[in-house]
Amino acid sequence: MNTIESILNDIHIVPSRKRPMPILHNVSGIIKPRRMTLLLGPPGSGKTTLLLALAGKLDSDLKVSGKVTYNGHEMHEFVPERTAAYISQHDIHLGEMTVRETLQFAARCQGVGTRYDMITELSKREKEANIMPDPDLDVFMKALAMGGQKTSIMTDYILKLLGLEVCADTIVGNDMIRGISGGQRKRVTTGEMLVGPSRVFLMDEISNGLDSSTTYQIVNTLQQSIHILQGTAVISLLQPAPETYNLFDNVILISDGQIVYQGPCEHVLKFFESMGFKCPQRKGVADFLQEVTSRKDQHQYWAFHDKPYCYVPVKAFAEAFSSFHVGHSIAN
């Protein structure tokens, strides 16, 4: 039967079962340096695909139109892996290696690049701005002055940053070997990229398996480095707490493969209010944004009580955003 269908497909008598399934639709925008961008959207909305596109890691089987540029340079003009680090939501490690060995191996493979100089520059700018240096960073800077190895110092600093010191000499483990916890393994995945030379971080749901306090600590540290050293970060989080959401400068809301909003966090609620939806005081902004485009949850945020509620589809939000002043400024 399958053979017959295949023959009929070739002569166009039976419609082919292989139909194009768009993942992202007309995605366009700008991500600026020294900005922390939060990527929000329900499961299956296209967040991972967007991050992979930005990192130049899309599957070769996918058909892509359009282009991604870094400072005006297209992907084929440089090596994206040396500039952008994609941090997956999946944790893939050698279970027999310790946490410290894993990060040291990652650092040697990638090279410390400019990260060593970046930490030195960070300390210098803190002093010029009369900012009290971070005590942990200060300890490592003194160690550097005594001639420590760059790779080793970077590894130790990232271990401290991610709260992995307590398990630094414990094997990572896997399904067959007992090792560190799931939350610690997620931090190791993040650490593998942080020890490298990249200035752009594309992080895919790095909060999986982490409590809100640890997520806040990691994002807060990233924020300080990004702002001072002119890096760039796009971080996908599933349900960030309000205090974590407030650490971000920009937010990208994606739903059904379409950009619903992209821009400063301070304008996002105004956009949805212009569409008739208001975030209650009891509700976190991130939770509101992920529910307001949902057919199941949208009605509870309807604010025009003098008008009957009617479901607003994702496409309508996307079209309205292009006319909103934030979307208009991006287009121009």
Claim to verify: residue 245 and residue 316 sit in the same structural domain? yes
Last residue within a domain, chosen from 145, 162, 196: 196
At 15 the pLDDT is 45
The more confidently predicted of residues 137 and 3 is 137
CA distance 215 to 237: 9
Claim to verify: residue 251 and residue 173 sit in the same structural domain? no
Mean pLDDT of 25-29: 84
CA distance 310 to 299: 8
pLDDT digits (tens, 9 = 90+) for 191-221: 888 787 788 999 998 887 788 888 888 888 7
Element (H, E) at 251: strand 250-255
Q: Among 21-35, 220-234, 279-293, which stretch is predicted with the lowest mean pLDDT? A: 220-234
Q: How many domains does the chain contain in total?
A: 2
What CATH number is attached to the domain comprising 329?
3.40.50.300
Tokens of 183: 């939350």
Tokens of 90: 């999946």
> How many other C-beta atoms lie within 10 A of the C-beta of residue 222?
21
Q: At residue 53, what are phi and psi to the nearest 5 degrees?
A: -65, -40
At 328 the pLDDT is 78
The answer, yes or no, to whether residue 9 has pLDDT greater than 60, is no
By DSSP bridging, strand 35-40 and strand 232-236 are parallel
CA distance 205 to 144: 33
Last residue within a domain, chosen from 196, 218, 234: 196
Tokens of 204: 């895919």
Residue 179 domain-assigned? Answer: yes
Q: Among 4-13, 72-81, 134-143, 200-209, which stretch is predicted with the lowest mean pLDDT? A: 4-13
In the chain, the amino acid numbered 101 is: E
Share the mean pLDDT of the chain: 82
Confidence of residue 10 (pLDDT cuts 50, 70, 90): very low
pLDDT digits (tens, 9 = 90+) for 279-291: 999 899 999 999 9
User: What does DSSP assign to residue 171?
Assistant: B
CA distance 51 to 205: 11
Mean pLDDT of 72-88: 84
Mean pLDDT of 9-26: 60
Nearest to 120 by CA among 81, 74, 157: 157
Containing domain of residue 133, as a range? 94-196
> How many other C-beta atoms lie within 10 A of the C-beta of residue 245?
21
In the chain, the amino acid numbered 232 is: T
CA distance 171 to 320: 51
Residue 326 domain-assigned? Answer: yes
Claim to verify: residue 123 and residue 172 sit in the same structural domain? yes
At 166 the pLDDT is 92
In the chain, the amino acid numbered 64 is: V
Residue 186 domain-assigned? Answer: yes
CA distance 239 to 250: 16
